[in-house]
């Protein structure tokens, strides 16, 4: 019943805020449209807590740079983690695929919000567009949200980390803040059913600029995946409870990450 009520309210509020943002996008300046998106995100987080029974704890604010532009690179397990991250920052730019631009209303909202829209097919054109649009965000000193995997992943699982995050890291010349989460246990990807319980979203120590591609990608993937696995709640598994395979996979992945980290440290010492 909680899931049914939540989803009805979720889609109702989404339509309402979409229409509101269309109006706000006409108002000069970015602040009105950013306020609309921020209010939408805050409403969704409130809805998660009050209706779905999902209490989200946000940790690691001390790891966020105090000033200047930086990149936030989260684990992406559900629509919910996007709302949580966006609710923490009033003026946040984000990277999204150009498939959303097929809808003229969304295209206008994205442009007005300063989103970095890239070609889903990738290639040189996508790289150039990513660089040029991200430069505007950097020049304005804003923070930029990008999901390294590019897609939703189930809790305890991961997808291939895409190199676009490194290009941004290299072009921006600023820190990347990894973010771990276990919110997928409560709101798994875009699945209808929601699970009551506590979830954590945690900003991790920033990766400072200057690393080479392989080292940067390895460090980013390692810290995000290792911490996300550590956050898994086996006492209240939520979305994991119907699949023993997922639970076993999570344990195996955690052990594998630990072994790889140990091997990496040993090689570094030699």
The pLDDT score that the predictor gives to residue 80 is 94
Average pLDDT over residues 135-148: 84
Q: Examine the pLDDT at 122 and tell me if it is beyond 60.
A: no
Residue from 46, 80, 47 nearest 186 by CA: 80
The pLDDT score that the predictor gives to residue 253 is 54
Average pLDDT over residues 108-122: 72
The pLDDT score that the predictor gives to residue 244 is 47
CB 162, CB 148: distance < 8 Å: yes
The pLDDT score that the predictor gives to residue 109 is 82
Q: Examine the pLDDT at 96 and tell me if it is beyond 60.
A: yes
Q: Examine the pLDDT at 163 and tell me if it is beyond 60.
A: yes
CB 176, CB 145: distance < 8 Å: no
More confidently predicted of 145 and 243: 145
Ordered structural domains, the chain, with CATH: 55-269 (3.40.1130)
Tens digits of residue pLDDT in 211-231:
999 999 999 999 999 999 999
Residue 124 pLDDT grade (very low, low, confident, very high; cuts 50, 70, 90)? low
Strand order in the sheet with 197-203: 54-59, 197-203, 176-181, 71-74, 143-145, 92-97, 116-118
Q: Which residues contact 254 (CB under 8 A, 6 or more apart)?
A: 226, 229, 230
Q: How many C-beta atoms lie closer than 10 Å to residue 12's C-beta? A: 10
Tens digits of residue pLDDT in 176-195:
999 999 999 999 988 899 99
Average pLDDT over residues 128-142: 74
> Considering the entire predicted model, what is its pTM?
0.83
């Amino acid at each position: 019943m909680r899931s049914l009520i939540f989803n009805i309210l979720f889609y109702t509020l989404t339509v309402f805020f979409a229409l509101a943002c269309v109006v706000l996008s006409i108002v000069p300046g970015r602040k009105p449209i950013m306020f609309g998106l921020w209010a939408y995100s805050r409403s969704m987080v409130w809805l998660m807590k009050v209706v779905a029974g999902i209490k989200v704890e946000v940790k690691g604010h001390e790891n966020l740079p105090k000033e200047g532009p930086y990149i936030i690179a989260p684990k992406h397990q559900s629509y919910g983690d996007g709302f949580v991250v966006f609710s923490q920052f009033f003026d946040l730019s984000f990277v999204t695929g150009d498939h959303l631009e097929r809808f003229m209303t969304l295209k206008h909202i994205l442009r007005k919000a300063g989103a970095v829209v890239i070609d889903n097919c990738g290639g040189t054109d996508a790289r150039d567009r990513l660089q040029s649009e991200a430069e505007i965000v950097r020049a304005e000193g804003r923070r930029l949200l990008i999901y390294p995997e590019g897609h939703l992943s189930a809790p305890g699982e991961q997808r291939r980390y895409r190199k676009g995050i490194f290009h941004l890291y290299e072009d921006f010349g600023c820190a990347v803040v990894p973010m771990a989460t276990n919110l997928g246990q409560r709101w798994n990807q875009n699945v209808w059913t929601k699970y009551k319980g506590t979830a954590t979203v945690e900003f991790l120590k920033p990766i400072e600029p200057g690393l080479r591609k392989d080292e940067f990608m390895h460090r980013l993937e390692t810290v995000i995946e290792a911490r996300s696995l550590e956050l898994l709640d086996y006492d209240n598994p939520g979305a994991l409870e119907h699949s023993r395979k997922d639970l076993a996979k999570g344990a195996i992945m955690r052990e594998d990450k630990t072994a790889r980290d140990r091997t990496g440290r040993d090689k570094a010492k030699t």
